Amino acid sequence: MTISTIRIEHRLRVFRRRRPTDGLAGFSLTELIVGASLSGFVLAGVLAAFLLLGRSGVRAANYSASDTEVRRALEIFTRDVRMASDLLSQGGTVVTFTLPAPNAFSGLPAPDTNKVTYGFDGTRGTFYRLPGGAASTATRHSLVRGVTAVAFSRFNRLDHPASSDAETKRLQVALNVRLSQGATAASSTPLVTASSILRNKVAQ
């Protein structure tokens, strides 16, 4: 009876030694806290990089769209300047050109049929083109949006600043465009055209 008891106890001891979980320990609380902290730092870095790339992408898209819009507007503006036979500037932010008869606008009163006006709408923040004079009731066409300032500069035939519309032979426009999208920081970009010649105008 004594011998059987010893053998059973011996087998139990051998079985206990062979358990794979014997001697293995889990993570301590300190190790878990450190690991969680490191994971948080890594995740924060990834999110910051993602947001930075997203903002850069949105800003690049805004600049691209604005650049296309401004180029198209300046192309239309320059075309009218070159065709104009006369101009009337008003306050430095609005200018009206007199165009050759073939470019007359139908449906406008007689004084406005061969005129076109460019100006700045501070309420809507646009640089616009208006068929007719400054007081025309025709529909305005917004050429550039997000505009904060517009300035027209006149030059005479010697390329010096002109003191009147009569001696103006060249005209330059400066636009200040404000770009912003969602959480991205707003920025202002001044865009200036080269002065365009009024080819059909006789300057004094």
Q: At 82, is the pLDDT very low, low, confident or very high (cuts 50, 70, 90)?
A: very high
What is the tens place of the pLDDT at every residue in 2-57?
555 555 555 555 545 555 555 555 677 787 787 788 888 788 877 777 677 666 66
| Tokens 């917004």 belong to residue | 142
Question: What is the reported pLDDT for 30?
Answer: 81
| Contacts (Cβ under 8 Å, ≥6 apart) of 87 | 95, 96, 97, 98, 165, 168, 171, 198, 201
Task: Transcribe 70-87 into DSSP letters.
Answer: HHHHHHHHHHHHHH-SEE
Which one is predicted more confidently, 176 or 64? 176
| Contacts (Cβ under 8 Å, ≥6 apart) of 58 | 181, 182, 184
Tell me the mean pLDDT in the region 127-138. Answer: 89
The whole model's pTM is what? 0.66
Q: At 150, is the pLDDT very low, low, confident or very high (cuts 50, 70, 90)?
A: very high
Q: At 80, is the pLDDT very low, low, confident or very high (cuts 50, 70, 90)?
A: very high
